[in-house]
Chains A and B, each alone.
Chain A
Amino acid sequence: MKIAVCVKQIPDPAAPAKMDANYNLARDTKLIMDESDSYGVEMALQLVDKAGAGEVVLFSMAPGEEVSGLRNALAMGAHRAVLISDPRLAGSDALSTAKVLAKAIGRESFDLVLAATESSDGYTGTTPVQIAELLDLPSVTFAKGIEVKGESLIVARQTEAGFDEIEVPTPALVTVTAGVVEPRYPNFKGIMAAKSKPVEKLSIDDLAFSPDSVGASGARETITSIRPAESRGAGTVVVDEGDGFAKIIEYLESLKVI
C-alpha cells in the first residue's frame, strides 16, 4: 500500500507568533511538524503495517528548505519525503498550496493521500479537498478510522452525532481528525535512521509552474486585516461557605444543563 501524507511544517505554536506586513505568519523561525499531521502519519504507518508492505511518502511545502518537521515524521517510520521549497512560493494561499502539493503528489501513483483536517496555523481546512479536486480523487473528511477492503476503503467519518461509515474506492484522499490515533514515539534508532532517509527537494521550476501562478502573485485570497482574538473573561469566583453544592446546582440550572 502506497500512501502520501501531507505534512505541514509550522512555527512552534509554543513560541509567540509574528506577522509580516501582509498579515501572513512569519515563517523565518524554526519550523516543527504540525501536531495535527502526526495523526495522519501514524494512520499511514498503521495501514502500511497492516498491509504487510508499502511505502509512506511525506509531502511538504515550506520555506528555507526546512526539513526538521519532516525528519520527525521520518523518525516515526515514514520512508521518504518530498519537500517543495522555493522563495517564489512565499505568500501562497490555500489554493496555491493545494496546486503545488497536488502536482508533486501527482508525479507518482498512490493508493491513498492523507492530510489533517486543517493546519494548526492557517486553519482554512480547505487545502486537502482542493488537492483531491486537482488530482481528481474522491475525498472523505474527518476520518476517525480507515480500513482497507479490497480496492476500497471503509472510512469512519466523524459527525456531531457519531460517525458515518463511508466506502470509497482507491485512490482517494482522506483527512484525519486530530486525536483519533496515538502517534508513536520516534525511537532513537528511528531518529538516527531518519537522518539518512531520502528527502527530495523540488522548486516550482521542477513542477513546471510559472512564477505568477503561485506564491503571492498567484494568490486569489488576500488578508485585509487581522485583530487579536478576544480574551476570555475572568469568570466568576464562588466562595464555598458550606453551600458550594447548592451554588453549583443553581449555576447549572441557569444554563439549563440540569
Chain B
Amino acid sequence: MQTKIPESLLTIRSQERQMLYQMVARFTKEYIVPNIEGWEDQGEVPRSLHKKAAELGILSVGFPQNVGGIGNIIDSMIVSEAIIQSGGSSGICAALLTLGIAIPHIIASNDQYLIEKYAKPTMSGDLIGSLAITEPNAGSDVAAITTSATRDGDRFLINGAKTYITSGYRADFVVVALKTSPTLGHKGISLVVVEKGTEGFTVTRKLEKLGWHCSDTAELSFSNVIVTSKNLIGEEGSGFSAIMANFATERLSMASQALASAKRCIDLTMTWVQNRKVFGTELSKMQLTRQKLAEMQRQYTVARTFLYDTAIRYVNGEKVIMEVAMAKNTAVYAMEAIINQALQLHGGMGYMRENEIERHYRDGRIMGIGGGTNEIMNEIIAKQLQI
C-alpha cells in the first residue's frame, strides 16, 4: 500500500485527491442521498450500490496495485470523508466498504486462488465479503475465541458461532477467525474463508442496532461445516498476526469516519444557526452559539490534524501503533462532543428522525467500540509507555 512518493501535507491535498473527493461526493449525492432513508428502513444497502461504486473505482481504493487496487489508506480516508460529508453516513461506509476488513488478509497472503476467487470479485462489486472475529464470549480478547476448525486431510471441519458481523447477512463469503490449534492461544488462530450456502453455515439472526441501520449485522452459526483447506488464508496459525496487522488501517478509517461525521454535523449546524431565529435574532449571532461552534471547530481541526499526521507517518512506514490508538480515541471523543452539541443547537429538530444529525448521533456511538474500544486503545497506549 506504499506509494512511491512519500506522503506529506502536500500530497494529501493533491489535485488527484481533490478530484477523488469530488467524484465520490457526486456519487454520494446521486446514488446515496436520495435512497439512504429507504436503506435505513430496509436494514441494508443494495448490491447495485456496490456495483456502481466498483465501476467508479471506489472499491479498489486502498488496495495494492498487483491485485488491481489503487491508492493507499489516505485515499480510503478521503473516500469515507466524501461519502459522509456529502450526506451519506458512517453506516453507509460500514455497509459499502466492508471489503476494507474482509479482503486485506486474503490479499496479504498472496494466495492467487483466493485472490481471484474472492478478493477481486469483491473489488468489482460482484461479491460481498465480511470478516467474522467476534463471538458471544470473545470480543476485544481475540485470543479467547472458541470457534474451531479441525483438519481432516485437505478439509476443515468448523464448529462455533460469531456475532456482530458487519454485512454478515448479505455476505457471499465470510473470512472467519477460528482456532486450528485450540491449545496454542493466539498462535492457534487461523483465518478461513467460508462461503454462503455451505452446509451447516447459517445466518441465525439479523441483529437490530442503535445506529448503522443501513448496515446489516449478523449472528452466524457453524455446525459441522466442511471447507476445503484451499480456503485457509496464509499459514495455519497466522490468523492472529494477520488480524493485528490490519487493525491500523481499520482504526485510521474509523477515526476518519468519526471526524467526517463531526464535520458534517458542524456544516449542518452552521446552516441551521444562520437561519434559525430566537428572541428576534439569528441563533448564530448569539455569543453562546458562537462559542459552541468555535469549540466544535477547534476539536474537529485538532483531531483531524493529528489523524492525518499519523496516517502520513503510517503510510511512510513508521511504527505508529500508539499514535493510531491515540488518533482513534481523539477522533471519537471529538466526534461525540461535536455531534452532541450539534444536536443541542438544533433543539427539538435535532432529536427528530427526519433530521440528519439524529442519524449521526446514533451512528457515532459505535465508533468508540468497533475496531477496538476506547479502553483497548488506552491499553495499547499504556503498553507503549511501558508502565
Cβ–Cβ < 8 Å partners of A187 in chain B: 23, 55-57
On whether the beta carbons of A188 and B20 are closer than 8 Å, the reply is: yes
Which A residues, 155 to 191, have Cβ-Cβ distances below 8 Å to chain B? 185-191
A249 CA / B200 CA spacing, docked (Å): 67
On whether the beta carbons of A191 and B20 are closer than 8 Å, the reply is: yes
For this complex, 26 residue pairs linking A to B, each with C-beta atoms less than 8 Å apart, are A68-B15, A71-B15, A71-B16, A71-B19, A72-B19, A75-B19, A185-B23, A185-B26, A185-B27, A185-B56, A186-B23, A187-B57, A188-B23, A188-B56, A188-B58, A188-B75, A189-B60, A189-B70, A190-B57, A191-B16, A191-B20, A192-B16, A192-B70, A192-B71, A194-B16, A195-B16
A118 CA / B56 CA spacing, docked (Å): 29
On whether the beta carbons of B19 and A191 are closer than 8 Å, the reply is: yes
A194 CA / B20 CA spacing, docked (Å): 12
A75 CA / B61 CA spacing, docked (Å): 16
Cβ–Cβ < 8 Å partners of A191 in chain B: 16, 19-20, 23
Cβ–Cβ < 8 Å partners of B60 in chain A: 188-189
On whether the beta carbons of B57 and A189 are closer than 8 Å, the reply is: yes
A192 CA / B16 CA spacing, docked (Å): 6
Cβ–Cβ < 8 Å partners of B16 in chain A: 71, 191-192, 194-195
CB distance from A77 to the nearest CB of B (A): 13
Cβ–Cβ < 8 Å partners of B15 in chain A: 68, 71
A residues neighboring B (CB under 8 Å): 68, 71-72, 75, 185-192, 194-195
Cβ–Cβ < 8 Å partners of B56 in chain A: 185, 187-188
A191 CA / B20 CA spacing, docked (Å): 7
Interface size on B, residues (CB 8 A): 16
Known: A189-B70, A190-B57. 17 other contacts (CB 8 A): A71-B15, A71-B16, A185-B26, A185-B27, A185-B56, A187-B23, A187-B55, A188-B20, A188-B60, A188-B70, A188-B71, A189-B57, A189-B60, A191-B19, A191-B23, A192-B16, A194-B19
A195 CA / B3 CA spacing, docked (Å): 14
CB distance from A55 to the nearest CB of B (A): 22
A195 CA / B16 CA spacing, docked (Å): 8
A72 CA / B16 CA spacing, docked (Å): 9
Cβ–Cβ < 8 Å partners of B27 in chain A: 185
Cβ–Cβ < 8 Å partners of B75 in chain A: 188
Interface centre among A68, A71, A187, A190 (most CB of B within 10 A): A187
Cβ–Cβ < 8 Å partners of B71 in chain A: 188, 192
Cβ–Cβ < 8 Å partners of A71 in chain B: 15-16, 19
CB distance from A66 to the nearest CB of B (A): 11
Which B residues, 4 to 27, have Cβ-Cβ distances below 8 Å to chain A? 15-16, 19-20, 23, 26-27
Top 5 nearest A-B pairs by Cβ distance? A188-B57, A187-B57, A187-B56, A191-B19, A189-B57
Cβ–Cβ < 8 Å partners of A75 in chain B: 19
CB distance from A161 to the nearest CB of B (A): 32
CB-defined interface of B348-368 with A at 8 Å, one 1/0 digit per residue?
A: 000000000000000000000
A188 CA / B23 CA spacing, docked (Å): 8
A189 CA / B61 CA spacing, docked (Å): 9
Cβ–Cβ < 8 Å partners of B70 in chain A: 188-189, 192
CB-defined interface of B22-38 with A at 8 Å, one 1/0 digit per residue?
A: 01001100000000000
Cβ–Cβ < 8 Å partners of B26 in chain A: 185
A75 CA / B56 CA spacing, docked (Å): 12
A130 CA / B23 CA spacing, docked (Å): 34
CB distance from B48 to the nearest CB of A (A): 16
Cβ–Cβ < 8 Å partners of A194 in chain B: 16, 19
CB distance from B67 to the nearest CB of A (A): 13
> Contact check: which of A72, A186, A188, A195 meets B61 at CB < 8 Å?
A188
A195 CA / B27 CA spacing, docked (Å): 22
CB distance from A60 to the nearest CB of B (A): 15
Cβ–Cβ < 8 Å partners of A189 in chain B: 57, 60, 70
A185 CA / B15 CA spacing, docked (Å): 16
Cβ–Cβ < 8 Å partners of B23 in chain A: 185-188, 191
On whether the beta carbons of B19 and A186 are closer than 8 Å, the reply is: yes
Cβ–Cβ < 8 Å partners of A68 in chain B: 15
A68 CA / B22 CA spacing, docked (Å): 13
CB-defined interface of B44-66 with A at 8 Å, one 1/0 digit per residue?
A: 00000000000111101100000
A71 CA / B23 CA spacing, docked (Å): 13
Name the residue of chain A whose CB is nearest to the CB of B27. A185
A195 CA / B75 CA spacing, docked (Å): 16
Interface centre among B19, B20, B70 (most CB of A within 10 A): B19
Name the residue of chain A whose CB is nearest to the CB of B79. A188
